[in-house]
Amino acid sequence: MVPLFKSAAFAALPPAWPIDLLPANAAAASASGRTLVVLDDDPTGTQTVRNIAVVTTWDLATLNAELSAAPACFYILTNSRSLTAEASRALHLELAANLRAASAATRRPVVVASRSDSTLRGYYPLETDTLAEILGPFDVTFITPYFEAGGRYTLNDTHYVAEGDRLVPAADTPFARDAAFGYRHSHLPSWVEEKTGGRTRATDVATISLELLRSGGPLAVAEKLRALPRGSVCIVNAAAPRDIEVFAAATLAAEAAGSRFLYRTAAGFVAARIGQSPQHALLPPAAFSLPNAHGGLTLVGSYVPKTSAQLSALLAASVVTPIEVDVAALLDDTLRASTLAATLTALNAALAAGRDTVVYTSRQLITGSDAAASLAIGRRVSDALIYLVQHLAVAPRYLIAKGGITSSDTATRGLGVRRALVLGQALPGVPVWQLGPEARFPGLGYVVFPGNVGSDPALAELVQKLSSP
């Protein structure tokens, strides 16, 4: 497909819906008596909200405790994108059964959003199919990959990734060549047909157009949602925050009239659904940098081209002590232990001396013979980074984890996080968690930096803000 020029494409669109819907959405979400439970396949889905809880376990006691507080929303970190398909299915079967039981026990109805990558990577339709087995049937499953801060837009049912003023069809980006979750189509109805193996034909996929969102508004969209055949899959176009706010308002209205929906969305939908306004001021370093004399730590495990460019800019800025971990050595059983020991010694010395440090995996991507083998390599590399976090001799002043799997494993396995609070964003699309008392470093400001978000100098700029005086 041919890229578009963003400025020209957006200028040709009808004007956005003129009414601010966030206050009404917040009121409607509260009045519904339901909690939006976001199942996040990596921690980056918290990148549009603030003052929202994240839990990393889904046992009945945990879910009962969260639902008993009757929150508008909370997140469950599944990290399912790092698992095999079989493991993800087993996880979702267990989680959905526990969620159904907790909802009944607390008498708190839930609405479920399966939050996944805005560049279309992840276990679709496996995860929504599994959720529907336990929590369904649903009238409609929505596909909503729009994410403003990441430059992900859906126009004319086609999903794009912004690169400057160019809108590149998602299937023409490196994300579509992901070893585990690659795809061929940017046209989302065709993507659904591809991912479902033809079970759902592109011609059978419903769509919500920008014209309807912008000219008809919430009531017209809600009317269309209510009229869709039961069991439909529906694509939602969006090119601005107001578009997703109109869609969220329409879902609230339709659900109030009796509809049951399942959402497969990127991060932008959640804040719109609960009526949370954008964070206009980014969090200052004092909000998440511990007052100690130790160095701060940045972990880089992501291999997407955006991360590699950001890492290069950080290293060029010379504001950190660099420690490279050779992935080939990590995968060699005869070299792994000595490589980790040497890396840990250097890391602890740097942090204790007050030097801000970046630990990063070597940039040559090593993949397996198939998706499962590639995931296994990724887990082995992630295990090594987690080992380093588990054996830190001092508490870092801050911790930035770059990449979805890296940030999830660091939180749950490296730091022992069971519950955290999303404070807000350090940069657009870059959330900061405050870790709970059970974590290895209670109160630590934990920055979840998605692999595919931000400008090339963004990581360096954030580290410079956090650097020691």
| Beta carbons of 336 and 330 less than 8 angstroms apart | yes
Same domain as 196, residue 155: yes
Q: Is 190 helix (H, G, I), strand (E, B) or coil?
A: helix
What DSSP state is assigned to residue 170? G
Q: Which amino acid is at 28?
A: A
Low-confidence ranges of the chain (pLDDT < 50): none
CA dist 183 and 191 (Å) reads 7
Q: Is 284 helix (H, G, I), strand (E, B) or coil?
A: coil
Same domain as 303, residue 245: no
Same domain as 145, residue 58: yes
Residue 257 CB neighbour total at 10 angstroms? 11
Residue 78: the pLDDT is 94
With CA atoms as reference, report the closest residue to 433 among 115, 55, 78, 167: 55
Q: CATH number for the domain including 152?
A: 3.40.50.10840
Is residue 423 in a domain? yes
Same domain as 180, residue 329: no
Is residue 280 in a domain? no
Contacts of 16 (CB under 8 A, 6+ apart): 214, 240, 242, 243
Q: CATH number for the domain including 337?
A: 3.40.980.20
Residue 316 CB neighbour total at 10 angstroms? 10
CA dihedral 360, 363, 366, 370 (to 10 degrees): 90
CA atoms within 13 A on the CB side of 269: 31
Task: Give one word for 202, left, alpha or beta, with left for phi > 0 and alpha for psi -120 to 50.
Answer: alpha
- List the structure tokens of 164: 């400057």
Its pTM stands at 0.90
Range of the domain at 235: 4-274
Residue 425: the pLDDT is 92
Is residue 385 in a domain? yes
- List the structure tokens of 281: 């001021």
| Beta carbons of 55 and 76 less than 8 angstroms apart | yes
Domain count across the chain: 2
Strands 73-77 and 321-325 come out as: unpaired
Is residue 291 in a domain? yes
CA dist 349 and 355 (Å) reads 9
